[in-house]
Chains A and B, each alone.
Chain A
């Protein structure tokens, strides 16, 4: 994974894990790697890996079973809120980018509609 320079590393790893949960790559209740495995797979500092799980736990995204490891939350509402939050981020990015080009609300919606029309034609 490529890291951005201006955002704390633990937040970037959390985002990546949230993506994997949102996209279904990680399912509710799945066991997550140990902190050491997490550190090696993302090539990050082991203390950062510990922080990733601590923060995710306080956000309610994962929980720890003593002696068994860390697991993705089993709370479906939490899953939908993660997904919604991430969708919101994409919308923010899209709207910000388009606004930067001087494109207004109506035009943005036009762009989206045209995009899907063209997609449908391809099929």
Chain B
């Protein structure tokens, strides 16, 4: 569905992405693993069509990333991207106007599951509540690819469980979910496929269960091994 070949992204004198090649297929949950600054967010932004790669090829359903792909790829950045005046309801209207695949009913349902009030101002919410609101609005798009950048960051363990359960419940045979995180143990049992990124390069990737059995260690242990000396 999404093909990336030798993606590179350079800024002035830093290289954010040095070499990323991977294929994203529907029906799977992907983890993008690596410490801060390893290039996870830059990669997601390239897939979302927000920044252009310096070199390499990226296609979504055999078309270059652009207007078409943006209509089918949902991206949840790490920042709080809501305007300060917005309530959950306003944010929903904003998304509805922007994205054809936005399902307002599903959005309301997700907010309810996350114990969020439709009329609450987002600027008055705790960071855990904002994290849940961001997730609700992103998952309410019936997109082919859903990218969640650090969905577990800065939220307590109860909200984390809720986030993970919601992600699991919204994974279908037709969509792909890509999550980035450095909280590897939280993702270990949820993912189909792990992509380890180190200094902008893919150093290892594969089916999670296959990696676990062939190496006789958990994804967490692989993570420790790969990044121990960074």
Find out whether the CB atom of B28 lies under 8 angstroms from the CB atom of A47: yes
List 15 additional contacts besides A5-B221, A8-B212, A43-B189; criterion CB under 8 Å: A3-B189, A5-B188, A5-B217, A5-B218, A6-B212, A6-B218, A42-B189, A43-B190, A44-B168, A45-B168, A45-B189, A45-B190, A46-B29, A47-B28, A48-B209
CB distance from A88 to the nearest CB of B (A): 24
Query: Which applies to chain A's interface (DSSP): helix, strand, loop or mixed?
Result: helix
Could you tell me which B residues sit within 8 Å of A by CB distance?
A: 27-29, 161, 164-165, 168-169, 171, 188-192, 208-209, 212-213, 216-218, 220-221
Find out whether the CB atom of A40 lies under 8 angstroms from the CB atom of B190: no
Find out whether the CB atom of A8 lies under 8 angstroms from the CB atom of B209: yes
CB of A39 closer than 8 Å to a CB of B: yes
Residues of A within 8 A of B208 (CB): 45
Q: A39 — nearest CB in chain B belongs to which residue?
A: B168
Could you tell me which A residues sit within 8 Å of B by CB distance?
A: 3, 5-6, 8-10, 36, 39-40, 42-48
A-B pairs with beta carbons under 8 Å apart, 9 shown: A5-B212, A5-B218, A8-B213, A40-B168, A43-B165, A43-B189, A46-B168, A48-B189, A48-B209
CA distance A3 to B219 in the complex (A): 12
Residues of B within 8 A of A44 (CB): 168, 189-190
CB distance from A91 to the nearest CB of B (A): 26
Find out whether the CB atom of B188 lies under 8 angstroms from the CB atom of A3: yes
* In-complex Cβ contact of B165 among A10, A40, A45, A48 (8 A): A40
* In-complex Cβ contact of B191 among A3, A6, A10, A45 (8 A): A45
Residues of A within 8 A of B161 (CB): 43
CA distance A108 to B132 in the complex (A): 54
Find out whether the CB atom of B209 lies under 8 angstroms from the CB atom of A9: yes
CB distance from B216 to the nearest CB of A (A): 6
Residues of B within 8 A of A45 (CB): 29, 168, 171, 189-192, 208
CB distance from B150 to the nearest CB of A (A): 18
CB distance from B157 to the nearest CB of A (A): 12
Find out whether the CB atom of A36 lies under 8 angstroms from the CB atom of B218: no
Q: B190 — nearest CB in chain A belongs to which residue?
A: A45
Q: A39-B168, A43-B165, A46-B168 are in contact. Are A6 and B216 (CB under 8 A)?
A: yes
Q: A47 — nearest CB in chain B belongs to which residue?
A: B192
CA distance A9 to B217 in the complex (A): 12
CA distance A3 to B208 in the complex (A): 14
Residues of A within 8 A of B190 (CB): 43-45
CA distance A83 to B190 in the complex (A): 29
CA distance A3 to B165 in the complex (A): 17
